[in-house]
Each structure stands twice: as structure tokens, then as C-alpha cells.
Structure 1
Amino acid sequence: MIKLYMWAMSNGYKASIMLEEIGLPYEACPVDIGRGDQFAPDFLRISPNNKIPAIVDPNGPDGKPISIFESGAILLYLAEKARQFLPQTAREPYRVVEWLMFQMGGVGPMFGQAHHFRHYAKEKHPYSIDRYTRASARLYGVMDRRLRDASYLAGDDYSIADIASFPWVRRHERHGQRLEDYPNVRRWFQSIAARPAVIAGLKPLSEGEKRGIVVDEKSHDLLFGESQFSPRA
């Protein structure tokens, strides 16, 4: 059984949704980042960047256990393992990978910064709020134009590119966006949200999402203060 180290956040849900989609058994192991679990030595051994998610697969490609960190790498690994949601043709995998990289390099960082400055920053900084809200709006626009001509981000078929972006779009209000302004994204979002595997993939550790990651001054420091930036042995 695959062990999935996660918390109830967009990047964590990428991995749990993927595991539900491909039907591999897994155990969701909580890494409560608001309490500092991400800095535990055992977790750092499999995720040296102290970020969720990470997986440990006891049956790696050579039959031996393997650990993978970084959500995009996990999606690629699981897609290749299951031979699902990543086309096996000569050309089409690159369409999936480019939209996966769009999420990793654009959607995640920009939406995350908008979320941070709009909701978690102790000091409201108008320049930062405006910059990242506008950057997020631009990326929603990119997706909307793409989805005007395609059912899914990489084309006609649902793929790991969609699995990567969906959990982030789920928090659109935190980015200062309305799906009504992006009708093609809204259609795409609603179709994915109705998938049984997606519904199941959003359940692990969902009580943590209701609680939130910042519950006191200590958790804020662990996530955004000096504790976050302290070097780890």
C-alpha cells in the first residue's frame, strides 16, 4: 500500500485525487503543517524541501521501495505506474506535460501568493495584493481561452494536467476571482468536481481544511515566519 504524506491543501489533494482515479490503495498519513510536522526528521528524509505531499511506494519500478516528493513528480510517477492520464503516443504526452508545468510554474506559485497576501499576511500590502490578484486573473484567463477550444487543459482527454490544476481552482475566491467571469473554466471545473474519484480524493484529512492551517501565532510563525526559514540539519 502506498503511503501518502499530505495535509488538506491543494497540493496534497492532487496526489489523493490521482490515487483515487487510478484505484491504487493508499494510506493518507497526516503532516500537520500548522503544527510543524513538516520539519520532523523522518518526513525530511522523504521530502527534503519540507513540503507536502510525498509518497512512499513499497513496489517501485524495480520492485524496491521508492519515495517521491514534489506533487508534479508524484503525478508523473503514478501516471507512468498506472499507465493512465498520460497519453502513450509520441506527441500527446508533451501537451499534458506543458500544462502540468503551467500549473507547477504559474498557477501554484501565483495563486498561492494571492492567497497569502489576501488572507494570511499580517500587514495588508496593497501592492502585493494587487500584483498577485492580477497575476492570478491573467492565469485564469489563459485557462479560459484554452478551455474554449478543448474539453480539458491538454486536449480532449482528462489528464494529470487537470488533476494538478483543479484543487487550486477550487479556492478561486481566495485568489480574488469569480468563476462566473471565466465560463469555460467554470464548465471544466464543474465537470471535474462531479467525478467520483475527485469527490473521494477530497475526503482524506478534510477536517484539517475546515480547521485551517493558521490557528495561532505559533502556526503562523512555522508557516511564514523565522521558523519556516531556519536551516534544517
Structure 2
Amino acid sequence: MIDLYYWTTPNGHKISIFLEEVGLRYQVRPVHIGKGEQFAPDFLKIAPNNRIPAIVDHAPADGGEPLSLFESGAILEYLGDKAGQFLPRTLRERTEVLQWLHWQMGGLGPMAGQNHHFNRYAPEPIPYAIDRYVKETARLYGVLDRQLEGRDYVAGEYSIADMAIYPWAKGWEGQKQRLEDFPNMAAWLQRMAGRPAVVRAYALVEAINPDPDALMSAQARKLLFGQDR
């Protein structure tokens, strides 16, 4: 059994997609980031960076005590090895998948996240910041689009790289992008959205967080973006 500490954000979706794909038994433990539950002492023991997702694996491969992990990329790599799926063992194939996983973690996630912030959450518009992150998001989608030329999935075969990238890329409209500029990405988004495990993973949203606009409240913004903790 795996405990998934989760909220309905792109990073949270990465892990629910993986778990649905492989059929590992898991229990969702919601962490409402708009209410500040990510700062609870018990959660900080698992995720010291006060961010979701995090997991606790109650049956690690070494047979020892339950193992906790934070950071979505590290969790995907761990689970890929645990399940023996979606993360190749062979050197070149594994390296290809991990490159694109880290591309998402170090590039697309942070840049699209800042795009979201300045377009949606910032208390006042800052044109320079909006322009900077919209353009950088477009550059990154251009990189992804070229990679997907002639491929069904990012690293050839479906992998944890696709699971990491998709939850961010599906938000293209809110990131002020034009999907017609990225035809290979558009086709890939359709393939991803049609996977039954992806459908099941996103069904958690209504069950866990029926009011996503709650994060727009002043108190939620203070908790999410304040620097007083």
C-alpha cells in the first residue's frame, strides 16, 4: 500500500497517473494547499519542503520500515523502478527518459508555473513578467513539439517522462499559448487524454477538490505565495 499525499495540481496529477497506470494499491491523503495543510508538522516530516506530492511506501523493496519520498520527479523514478514499468532498465533508453523527466522538473514546470502565477494569481499585472514567462513557455513547447516529431510519446515508448510533462502541458490555454503552433504536441495531448489511467487520475479532481477556484481567495494566496513561514 502507498499513501499518496496529494492535491489537484499538475505535480499531484503526475503521481496519480502513474499509480493508475500500474495498478499499485494506494490511498489518497488530501493535503489542501489552500487551507495551509502543507504546513502541518506531520506532513513536514514526510515533505520538508512543504509541497505536494509526497508518498509513503509501506512495502519498500528492502523490506524495511515505510519509506517516504517528496519531489515528484524523484517519486516517479522510485515508482518506475519499484513497479518495473515506464522507466527502462537499458542505459540509452533510461537516459532518454530521465533527460525529459528532468527537462520538465527544471524547465517546463518552473516556467509554466511562473506563467500561471503572473497571469492568474498575481495581485496586479506585471507586463514584463507576463511577457517573459509566456515567451519562455512557448520556447519550451517548441522544444517538446520538435521532440515529438515522428514519435507517439516523448522518449519513444510511453514513460514517466510523459506522465511528468502532460499535467503541465494540458494547461496550455491558461498559459496564453496557441495549440496550432505545436501540432505534434497537440496530437500527443490527445493520445494522453485518451489513456484510461489518465482519465481515472483526473477523476480524482471532482472527488477531492470540487471547488478549484478556492485557491483564488486572498487567504489561500497568502498561504500559497506568502513568505512569512
TM-score exceeds 0.5? yes
Q: Tell me which amino acid in the other structure corresponds to 1:186.
A: A
Q: 1: distance between equivalents of 2:210 and 2:135?
A: 26
Aligned counterpart, 2:175 = 175
Are 1:61 and 2:38 an aligned pair? no
- Could you tell me whether the CA contact under 8 Å between 1:38 and 1:44 is conserved in 2? yes
Aligned with 1:77: secondary structure? helix
Deviations 1:44-93 (A, max 9, x none): 00000000000001001211210010000110011000100011213210
The one-letter amino acid paired with 2:22 is I
1:1-233 equivalences in 2 (<5 Å): 1-64=1-64, 65-155=66-156, 157-206=157-206, 207-208=208-209, 210-227=211-228, 230=229
SS of equivalent to 1:29: strand
Give the AA of the match of 1:208: N
Supply the distance in 2 between the matched residues of 1:205 and 1:54 (Cα, whole angstroms): 17
Tell me the secondary structure at the aligned position of residue 68 of structure 1: strand
Q: Using the alignment, how far apart are the partners of 2:226 and 2:174 within structure 1?
A: 21
**Inter-partner Cα distance in structure 1 for 2:214 and 2:18:** 23
The answer to whether the 8 Å contact 2:5/2:52 transfers is yes
Separation in 2 of the partners of 1:210 and 1:9?
A: 13
Give unpaired runs (5+ residues) of structure 1. Answer: none
Instruction: Give a deviation string over 1:170-200, Cα, whole Å, max 9, x none.
Output: 1111111122221100101100110001111
The Cα offsets for residues 149-188 of structure 1, whole Å up to 9 and x where unpaired, read as 3221112x00000000001111111111122221100101
TM-score (ref. length: structure 2): 0.96
Distance between the aligned counterparts of 1:209 and 1:72, measured in 2? 26
1:110–1:135 Cα contact (<8 Å) kept: yes
| Amino acid of the structure 1 residue aligned with 2:117 | H
Any idea what SS the aligned residue of 2:149 has?
A: helix
Distance 1:153 1:136 in 2: 17
Structure 1 runs, 4 residues or longer, greater than 4 Å off: none
Alpha carbon RMSD of aligned pairs, Å? 1.2
Output the CA distance in 2 between the equivalents of 1:63 and 1:8. 31
Give the 3-state SS of the residue equivalent to 2:4 in structure 1: strand
**Amino acid of the residue matched to residue 17 of structure 1?**
I
How many correspondences in the alignment?
227
Aligned-partner SS, 2:130 = helix
* Structure 1, 40-49 or 210-219: larger mean CA deviation: 210-219
Output the CA distance in 2 between the equivalents of 1:25 and 1:178: 38
Identity %: 54
Cα distance in 1, alignment partners of residues 93 and 165 from structure 2: 18
Q: Which amino acid aligns with 2:127?
A: P
CA contact (8 A) 1:33 1:213 kept: no
More deviation, 99-108/141-150: 141-150
Normalised TM-score (structure 1): 0.94
Shift of 1:226: 3.2
Deviation, structure 1 residue 205? 3.8
